[in-house]
Chains A and B, each alone.
Chain A
Amino acid sequence: QKEVEQDPGPLSVPEGAIVSLNCTYSNSAFQYFMWYRQYSRKGPELLMYTYSSGNKEDGRFTAQVDKSSKYISLFIRDSQPSDSATYLCAMSDSGGGADGLTFGKGTHLIIQP
């Protein structure tokens, strides 16, 4: 069983639609949850960062974490063609040491003009 599951897509939606991206995980020690956006052949860009359960909103983006269900979501409102990219969820526990992040496989999102 993989630690983080994420549907690779592609997910294609029309411009202006609300997009929902999701990840599930199995490691109950994860406490820090992130969403990254990655354009082709570029480095991942941090979009949202959440500690423990709850919601966080930043402009058109909303991140939700449900630790009881081990489920995280990213919502994009009023989607734009420039949102077309791969979205990676990432998470880590609170332990010290060289742990880095555990990533999902990424969802390829296409916003149709």
Chain B
Amino acid sequence: DTEVTQTPKHLVMGMTNKKSLKCEQHMGHRAMYWYKQKAKKPPELMFVYSYEKLSINESVPSRFSPECPNSSLLNLHLHALQPEDSALYLCASSTRRGEGTNEKLFFGSGTQLSVL
């Protein structure tokens, strides 16, 4: 009952391609996250949707664009990526019952992205 599903598991794309990563959770969580993880590094927060409100890490380039169609789905749209964007992209969700509380974060298995 702690499952966060990400598709695809692997993605290879050229620098001129447009692709999307998808994430789905059915735990009733109201916060969903995108993290980026390079090899042998910890995950880095990219975006958060909490109660359908988006918060952005200002250092994330505009070639990454998140979308939250509803509270169970989260997409990450990719356009004109660079080879240095190759990484494991992780989706996560948490209950985030409201301001001042913090709940457990559950991760998906990730999408291994390679940009050629």
What is A's interface to B at a CB cutoff of 8 Å? Answer: 8, 31-32, 34, 36, 41-46, 49, 88, 90, 92-101, 103-106
Residues of chain B within 8 A of A105, CB atoms compared: 41-42
Asked if residues B45 and A100 are in contact (CB atoms below 8 Å), the reply is yes
**What are 30 inter-chain pairs, A to B, with CB distance below 8 A?**
A31-B102, A32-B102, A41-B112, A42-B109, A43-B4, A43-B6, A43-B88, A43-B90, A44-B43, A44-B90, A44-B107, A46-B2, A46-B105, A46-B106, A88-B43, A90-B105, A92-B102, A93-B102, A94-B101, A96-B98, A96-B101, A97-B55, A97-B99, A99-B102, A100-B45, A101-B45, A101-B105, A103-B42, A106-B40, A106-B42
Give the contacting residue for A94; candidates B90, B100, B112; CB below 8 A: B100
Nearest-neighbour CB distance to chain B for A17, whole angstroms, equals: 24
Q: A42 near B40 (CB under 8 angstroms)?
A: no
- B109 pairs with A98, CB closer than 8 A: no
Chain A hits for B88, CB < 8 A: 41, 43
Name B104's contact: one of A31, A34, A98 (CB within 8 Å). A34
Interface residues of B in 18-66 (CB under 8 A from A): 33, 35, 40-43, 45, 48, 50, 55-56
Interface string of B93-116 (1 = CB under 8 A from A): 000001111101111111010000
By beta carbon, the residue of chain A nearest B49 is: A98
Q: Complex Cα distance A98/B4, Å?
A: 19
Q: 11 other contacts beyond A44-B107, A101-B105, with CB at 8 A cut-off? A: A34-B104, A43-B4, A43-B109, A43-B110, A44-B90, A92-B102, A93-B102, A96-B100, A100-B35, A100-B105, A105-B42
Asked whether A98 and B105 contact (CB < 8 A) given A88-B42, A103-B42, the answer is: no
**CB nearest neighbor in B for A43:** B107
Contact between A34 and B110 (Cβ–Cβ < 8 Å)? no
Collect the chain B residues with CB atoms within 8 Å of residue A90's CB: 105
Residues of A within 8 A of B108 (CB): 43
Asked if A34 and B100 make an inter-chain contact with CB atoms under 8 angstroms apart, the answer reads no
* In-complex Cβ contact of A46 among B42, B45, B90, B104 (8 A): B104
